[in-house]
Structure 1
Amino acid sequence: MGRPYIVYDVGDLAPDLWSHPQLIAAVAAEDWGAVLRAYRKITGLSQTKLGERVGLVQPDVSAIERGQRKVTSTEVRQRIVTGLGIPAGLLQGHTEAPAAPVAGLVLPGPGPDDDLLTRVTSVIESEHRVDTPTLDWLDRLLAEHRRAEDEIGSRPLVGVMRQQLRTVVDLYAGARGPLADRVVRLASEHAQFLAWMSQDQGQTAAALAWYDRSHEWALEAGDANMAATTLSMKAHMAWSGGRGDRAVRLAEAARWSAPGASLGVQGMAAQMAARGHALNGDGDSAARLLDEAQGLISTAADHPEDEPVWMYFYGETWFTLQRGMAALHLKDWRAAVDHLTIGLAALPDEYRRDRTWYRACLAHAYAGAGEAAPALTVALEAVPDASAVGRPHAWNELHSTAALLLRRGAPEVHQLVAALREFD
């Protein structure tokens, strides 16, 4: 039985369709039968509808897909290229050599040997077969980029990661057997990280598109953990947008749709559902799910080898902070202050982006509790980092804090307003 594909509304595909590895490989080989088959599988178009796009009748489309008819005419080739909107850069003779996937980032520790580095940066141009060491190195690059984003934020890394994803996708043309599955899995992880960074920068449409693409690739690669994670992160997006019901539904879908997911990934989904309930004012459901999520994560900690690499930040400190966030939604200001203060004290300095966000939330909690002086102190400390790495979410939280203090007539709030204007 074949692996499932997401069926798209063709009008919403945009150029992102042409980042799919099967399509890229088929176009690069000028295997027009494979191009048509892959295009129809991804878009859900019938042979008749696809034929209308490329100026061919259904029997001709069928014959090309089955290999019974070869595309030798320049006119027919151009009709396919134009009708399907194939980017010129994917066609033979127009493909640019991929740049090094680590541009702009120097990794700590020993790098790859010269031969491996050559394979990573020029594998598409050469006849080298995609191999395990190459994919191992790309796995390491992604892990290092994730860690870097914790400290420097998403803005400096978005361009690098787009370039690296293209390198991974291009590898598909030379991958065979289990290596092909691994390339798709790696592409799914890159797309999820790009979605997260797009969301962090307030680019909601781009984030949703990347999460959808990551989810599709995860299903194709049989990766239950990433399939569930993408749904959990879409729940996080809904929560960020103030849509509690949608956050709960997506988080629940993350749990039931991927029963093979690890305990840690299940815990993340339960926690995301708790956020949605807290946003809706349902404190009992939020507390129950947070307890369940913390139990799952604690059990998972006994076998870290069973967890995907992107779960590295989940632990007791993280859950303390989540309880603080739930209390903030429920306007239990004192509990929010206590949890966020404890969590921030234990959060390592290298998590600069997260420290900025939770500081902004702590300032809001203090303001809600009527403690203007510590609210101002914490908020003013967070402003420079919010401007550098935490925007727009931490930035918006600081503005909410300032607005709350202004409504309550807090003294010295003009200092925070001035600081926000200075860095805005």
Structure 2
Amino acid sequence: MSGRELWADGRLRVAWASRDWPTLIRRYRALAGISQQRFGELVGMDQGYVSRLERGRARVTSEDVVARFVEGLKVPTELGGVQKMRAVTWDPPAELRDRVAHARTTGRMDVRTADWIGRVLVEHRRAEDEVGGRALWPVVLSQLDTVTEMIPHSSGSVADRLMLLAAEHAHWLSWVAWQDQRLGSALAWIDLAHGWAVDGGHADMASWAQRVRAHYSLQQGDPVRALRTAEAARYVGSRPLSPAAEAVAVHQAAMAAAALSERDRARRLAEEARELALRAPEAADRPGWLYWLDPLRAQLQVADTAYACRAWSDAACGFRSALPLLQGYARDHAYYRARLEDAERRI
């Protein structure tokens, strides 16, 4: 595995962002399968100093030493500004929007950096359960900073592609802000995600951003607004949605309908959502941010709607059959396990 390939690892990127040198050295060495001696050769240090750093008995106080890490460990370009991102607020910085406002200028750009950043964002989504969104926040924000810097130097399909990548980052940041109870910031980021998706002509992402907004409204106790927004998420432009993108919008509408006690409507929508999801059973058939919507998750969503409709037996049956297959997703497993236990108590 090359030096750059190692940097797709979420834990390694978090260690760099926080300047946690002991974790950084241990993680890098474990991923690369190298000794302290070899690590020292990469960064121009003797093995004894590397050992002291790894044990936390020495500190890095010189930017010259940091520069050695950057060069020797092939730290990706988009992490170069990660330190300044640690001090920003949770709200979207104005310069990000200013850069996107200048899209569509003529120019050429090497898209390999965009491809790389898109790849590591996928890794961050999957690592969030273990690493934590808050820890990854400055890393993802720094990546977004790099993406928006590229947009004014792009045009045509490349600019559209970068707009989608920017929207994916903004959605991720919105979700983490929401989990941290920063509601205003979460809404600001999801609105940016929606706007950038529309500007770039990406119907699936525009729909997903509206679906997330509907989820926020439902969690805030406003099912009327949630249903209205979820229904609108099915119709976001002239292009048809992919089956997976439409499925999550329909499921969100089902959950809002259940909260309004429209149970027949909710069950009908839940079944429609399941059928749509089953039309995209493979990850390659779904947008990247819906990597998780496999047939198992489609079944769990039907059970979740039954739970919201207070159909306890149906909910318990659905959760019970699916839970054994949900290993490896600790947070989701705990969520559905709690729902199963509650449904069983109410039967």
Q: 1:355 offset after TM fit, Å?
A: 1.7
2:335 to 357, 372, 382: 357
Distance (whole Å) between structure 2 residues aligned to residue 255 and residue 283 of structure 1? 20
Equivalent in 247, 260, 269 of residue 240 of structure 2? 260
Larger Rg belongs to: 1
In the alignment, residue 139 of structure 2 is paired with which amino acid?
V
| 1:192 aligns with one of 171, 194, 219 | 171
Residue 249 of structure 2: aligned partner: 269
Alignment partner of 1:169 is 2:79: no
| Contact 2:266-2:309 at 8 Å conserved across structures | no
**Partner residue in 1 for 2:296:** 317
Q: Contact 2:243 / 2:276 at 8 angstroms: preserved in 1?
A: yes
Aligned residue identity for 2:331: R
CA contact (8 A) 1:150 1:354 kept: no
Superposition pairs of residues 196-211 of structure 1, within 5 angstroms: 196-211=175-190
Deviation for aligned residue 1:363: 3.5
Task: Please give the per-residue CA displacement for 1:106-155, whole angstroms capped at 9, x wherever unaligned.
Answer: 79989xx99996554569xxxx9631211110110110001111444423
Q: Which amino acid counterpart does residue 241 of structure 2 have in structure 1? A: A
In 1, the alpha carbon distance for the partners of 2:147 and 2:262 equals 43
Q: Residue 14 of structure 2 aligns with which residue?
A: 104
Contact 2:242 2:286 in 1 (8 A): yes
- Conservation of the 8 A alpha-carbon contact between 2:267 and 2:306: no
Whole-Å separation in 2 of the counterparts to 1:178 and 1:185: 11
Match of 2:278 among 281, 290, 298: 298
CA spacing shift, 1:345–1:195, aligned 2, 3 Å:
same
Q: CA deviation at 1:176?
A: 4.1
What is the rounded CA distance, in whole Å, between the counterparts of 1:205 and 1:368 in structure 2? 36
Given candidates 258, 262, 285, the residue that maps to 1:278 is: 258
Match of 1:289 in 2: 269
For residues 343-389 of structure 1, give each alpha carbon's deviation from its aligned partner in whole angstroms, at most 9, with x where no partner exists: 2221132x2221222233233324434xxxxxxxxxxxxxxxxxxxx
Letter in 1 for 2:270: L
**TM-score under structure 2 normalisation?**
0.67
Output one character per residue of 1:291-318: Cα deviation in whole Å (capped at 9) or x when no partner.
111111111227x544211111112221
Structure 1: segments with no counterpart, 5+ residues: 1-99, 370-424
1:130 aligned onto 2:109? yes
Q: Hey, what does 1:94 align to over in structure 2? A: none
Q: Which residue is equivalent to 2:120?
A: 141
Alignment-mate amino acid for residue 178 of structure 1:
S
SS in 1 for 2:133: coil
Aligned to 2:327: 348
1:338 Cα shift? 2.2
Residue identity matched to 2:268: R
Query: How many angstroms apart in 2 are the aligned matches of 1:293 and 1:269?
Result: 8
Whether contact under 8 Å (2:78, 2:142) holds in the other structure is no
Aligned to 1:17: none
Contact 2:211 2:248 in 1 (8 A): yes
- AA partner of residue 314 (structure 1): L
Partner Cα distance (1:176, 1:153) in 2: 35
Is contact 2:226–2:256 with CA below 8 Å preserved after alignment?
yes
Q: CA deviation at 1:342?
A: 2.2
State the number of aligned residues: 262
Q: Is 1:224–2:203 an aligned residue pair?
A: yes
Task: Please tell me the residue identity of whatever aligns with 2:235.
Answer: W
Q: Describe the shift of the 1:178–1:115 C-alpha distance in structure 2 as closer, same or farther (beyond 3 A).
A: farther
Q: Deviations over 1:166-185 (max 9, x none)?
A: 22222224434433322222
Report SS of the residue matched to 2:279.
helix
Q: Which residue of 2 aligns with 1:79?
A: none
Cα pair distance change 1:293/1:141, threshold 3 Å: same
Aligned-pair identity in percent equals 34
Is 1:327 matched with 2:306?
yes
Q: Is contact 1:198–1:204 with CA below 8 Å preserved after alignment?
A: yes
Aligned mates of 2:114, 2:339 — CA distance in 1: 39
* Cα distance in 1, alignment partners of residues 137 and 115 from structure 2: 22
Unmatched 5+ residue regions in structure 2?
1-6, 16-26, 33-70, 82-106
Instruction: Provide the C-alpha distance between the structure 2 equivalents of 1:319 and 1:178, rounded to a whole number of angstroms.
Output: 33
Compute the TM-score of the two structures, normalised by the length of structure 1: 0.56
User: Which residue of structure 2 lines up, in the alignment, with residue 394 of structure 1?
Assistant: none
- Secondary structure at the residue paired with 1:348? coil
| Counterparts in 2 of 1:203 and 1:143: CA distance versus 1, 3 Å | same
* Cα distance change of structure 1 residues 274 and 109 upon mapping to structure 2, 3 Å threshold: farther
Q: Distance in 2 between matches of 1:118 and 1:276?
A: 43
Q: Does 2:225 align with 1:246?
A: yes
Aligned residue for 2:278, secondary structure, equals helix
